[in-house]
Amino acid sequence: MAFTVTSSVDGTVAKLTLAGRLDANTAREFQVEIEKVAEQRPCTVALFVHELEYMASAGIRMLVFTKQKLGSETDVYVVGAQHQIIHTLEMTGVDKSVILVDEFEPAASIQG
């Protein structure tokens, strides 16, 4: 399945939907989309990854890039990740810096 990424910004919440294979060949597309939403300085970024079948280290680097681009005060949600992707995030301690959820509800989530 080819990689696709789409984005929208609603107020202070940026939503990106990722599908397919996120690897070294496709990570640049993700980076371009992050740079696009970063211009609107969102407080929250939600990555919808229900249809993301694979994430290589290039994907981890993009999560690092996202945090470094937007700053530590920006919350990054990873929504609907499949088990193996969660395992990859846990292996690298990334799960401690992003918020893993099954469903994203901005108001409730931001309140914590």
**Contact status, residue 97 vs residue 71, Cβ threshold 8 Å:** no
Instruction: Measure the CA–CA gap between 101 and 88, rounded to whole angstroms.
Output: 15
**CA–CA separation, 99 vs 79, rounded Å?**
8
Site residue total, another protein (CB under 8 A): 28
Q: Give the x/- contact pattern for another protein in 62-91, rule: CB under 8 A.
A: -xxxxxx--xx-----------x--xx--x
Least Å distance, CB 47 to another protein, is: 13
Q: Which is nearer to another protein, 53 or 101 (CB)?
A: 53
Q: Which of residues 37-56 bind another protein (CB under 8 A)?
A: 54, 56
When asked if residue 5 is in the footprint of another protein (CB under 8 A), the reply is: no
* Interface with another protein, residue 23, by CB under 8 A: yes
Mention every residue, 6+ apart, whose C-beta is less than 8 A from residue 26.
Answer: 3, 20, 58
Tokens of 76: 């990054």
- HSE of 49, CA atoms in CB hemisphere, 13 A: 28
Contacts with another protein, residue ranges (CB under 8 A): 21, 23-25, 54, 56-58, 60-61, 63-68, 71-72, 84, 87-88, 91-94, 96-98
